[in-house]
Amino acid sequence: MLPMPLRSRVSLVPRPQRGAALWSGLALGILGALMLALPLAAQDSTAQDSTTQDGGAEVIKSHGFNDYNELKYPADFPHFDYVNPEAPKGGEIALATQGTFDSLNPYTRKGRAAALTSVMFESLLDGTAPADEYGTSYCLLCESLEYDAGKTWVIFHMRKDARFSDGTPLTAHDVVFTHNLFLEQGLPSYAVAVKKRITGAEALDDYTVRFTFADGISRKSLIDQVGGTPVFSKKWFDETGARLDEPRLITSPGSGPYVIDNFEVNRRIVYKRNPDYWGKDLPVNIGRHNFDRIRIEYFADETAAFEAFKAGEYTMRVEGNSKLWATAYDFPAAQRGLVVKEELPDGSPPPASGFIFNLGREALKDIKVREALALAYNFEWTNESLQYGLFSQRESFIQGTPLAATGVAEGVDLDYLQSLGDLVPPEVLGEPVRVPHTSSPEKQNDRRNLRKAMKLLDEAGWLVGSDGMRRNAAGDLLHIEIPVNSAGAAVTESVIETLVQNMRLMGVDAQMEKVDPAQYTNRERDRDYDILLDSYRTFLGVGTGLNQVFGSAEAAFSLFNPAGLADPLVDAIIQKGLASETLEQENTTLRVLDRVLRHIFFVVPVWYKANHWVAYWDMYDHPDEIAPFDLGYLDYWWYVAEKGEQLRATGALR
């Protein structure tokens, strides 16, 4: 569970992926400890960490880390396989986002941080790459690490040439300071969990730092936790008195490849490559960080943002709007071949997006009510009528992977569930895993599903009165409010509006409330909603970050659990998974967790697409093969100077 920027205040268009790790925005930032490992059987484990003996105890020394001590890249690797090591440096990439910002601090608990503000900071282990090996991190600020086989401690040997952007050395004292700063001023859910797991952080000398871990806990997500924490300048915080949890329009120096060049609040922010970046020649960085400038333009809404893209005010767009993708890329520049439109493969599971129920609402604690309201969503009609048939319906929290639960639990999955005793409902043991309902694509309101829904509401005690509205025995209306961000896509608003209309046909007092971005952020943070169109993180491995997202202990306040899910069966599965000793046991945990989360039914699955949709002005290039876990346009794409100059010479771009 890494210290993360707060839940998104804005949605980037496009939205950087894992390998870029430049995103301080939507959804949760990077939940590295949650997505710990793709099944390693699918990886090319050609390198082994060296081991030594110290007083009879095995000590592992390595240039990188994953839970199974099997690294794809050897210690002397020249660069990652998926990058172009000869990629030219230069040029600018310009992106767009919607909404506003009032802070340059991505970890503030107040206000709205500007997009990509985490780009400036690095960690001991590089959590932003590789994009072809999930669950593994290689040394960045460190040059090596060592730890005992039982993972009760870890020592990082740091690079002595690492520097902050102000030229000051980055030392073990900065690492320890940052660790303590997150505990004192970071998210409460983060601090509570970490204090239970990490018992000590000590600078052994200026360039050696040691962390010790608590006894009697899972060894998962300990080393990558401390290795993945961004490192701040102790000197700067001491001199300025700044706090980590407050918004500010000044930023501490980072050690990363980019620094802030200039900004205009609510208009734009520009990052420039640090010409004195200390780590530019490291193997983990070869072929990466290729743009001289990254510019983010802010717009009031999606319509304004798209019109600006057509006019060349920004130059790269990862499209998520099916209507635009299907109909809007026929503008003159695209017709003339000046704008490239591509579908590129995406090897990551899609976010677990959907209509999320606030389980803190009394009415929504009843699964019959949730099931009834879910029947108001007609995916088939929505996809065909509003989304041009371009999406598939999501079923699983780990859609499109071998780890997704299927059919009736059997074999090791059934044994696993039975080992959990009375916590497991009989339906989970004997019935097929829950899949989304089907609807008629011909009409917005599928009458068959509406009849089922109304029967469920009757059974739940929400009866129709003389005015056609549903009330409980106390006379309270079944009121459902769904906020929508006014800066969001028009098609999203249309989808929510049709859902509300179908709910009203059931006698539910449902309404959509359009709110400005700042208010929307506050309502997200305060869980001031009945239903929210949002997403949960997918999980490709078992890590303690699962507790922050699905666990009961932090459910009341975790920003990463928008439903407020708190279930003893889920807790038991997570704890059992954290004790996994083999990859097979871990994979069984993931399948079982997927099955149980779907049974609890706190998210109505919506749509997903299997590929990236990307459009850009024709002055960029990328490797022939896109890395499976990262589209990587801010990471390993590059600027083609000749094409950029031609576009400007013809007046197509400024």
Which domains are seen in the chain, by residue range?
Answer: 357-377+438-528 (3.10.105.10), 395-435+537-608 (no CATH)
Q: Calculate the average pLDDT of the chain.
A: 90
Give the strand pairing for 293-299 and 268-273: antiparallel
109 near 187, Cβ under 8 Å?
Answer: yes
Smallest CA-to-CA distance from 489 within 17, 22, 26 is with: 26
pLDDT band at 51 (very low <50, low <70, confident <90, very high): low
CA–CA gap between residue 218 and residue 150 (Å, rounded):
10
The rounded distance, in Å, linking the Cα atoms of 552 and 220 is 19
Residue 420 has pLDDT above 70, yes or no: yes
Share of the chain above pLDDT 90, in %: 79
What is the Cα gyration radius of the chain?
25
92-98 and 293-299 as β-strands: parallel, antiparallel, unpaired? parallel
Give the helix/strand (H/E) hosting 603: strand 603-605
| Dist. CA 136–CA 571, nearest whole Å | 26
Q: What is the pLDDT of residues 174-211, one digit of tens each?
A: 999 999 999 999 888 788 889 989 999 999 999 999 99
Question: Which helix (H) or strand (E) segment is 459 a member of?
Answer: helix 447-459
Q: Is the pLDDT of residue 590 over 80?
A: yes
Range name among 16-20, 443-447, 594-598 with the lowest pLDDT average: 16-20
User: Tens digit of pLDDT for each residue in 262-278?
Assistant: 999 999 999 999 999 99
Give the integer Cα–Cα distance in Å for 450 and 271: 51
Helices (H) and strands (E) in the chain, counts: 18, 30
Q: Is the peptide bond before 14 cis (omega within 30 degrees of 0)?
A: yes
Q: Which amino acid, one-letter code, is at 139?
A: C
Give the residue from 388, 392, 389 showing the smallest Cα distance to 323: 388
Q: Which band of pLDDT confidence, cut at 50, 70 and 90, is reported for residue 541? A: confident
Q: What is the pLDDT of residues 12-31, one digit of tens each?
A: 322 222 233 222 222 223 23
Edge-first strand order for the sheet with 125-126 is 64-65, 137-139, 125-126
Residue-by-residue DSSP string for 313-344: SS-EEE---HHHHHHTTTSHHHHTT-EEEEEE
Residue with the bigger pLDDT between 61 and 488: it is 61
For the chain, the distance separating the N- and C-terminal CA atoms, rounded to the nearest angstrom, is 43
Report CA 68 to chain centroid distance, whole Å: 24
* Under 8 Å between Cβ of 537 and 484: no
Residue the block writes with tokens 């600027």: 639
For position 48, what pLDDT does the model report? 41
Q: Angle at the Cα of 499 (from 9 to 446), degrees rounded to 5? A: 155
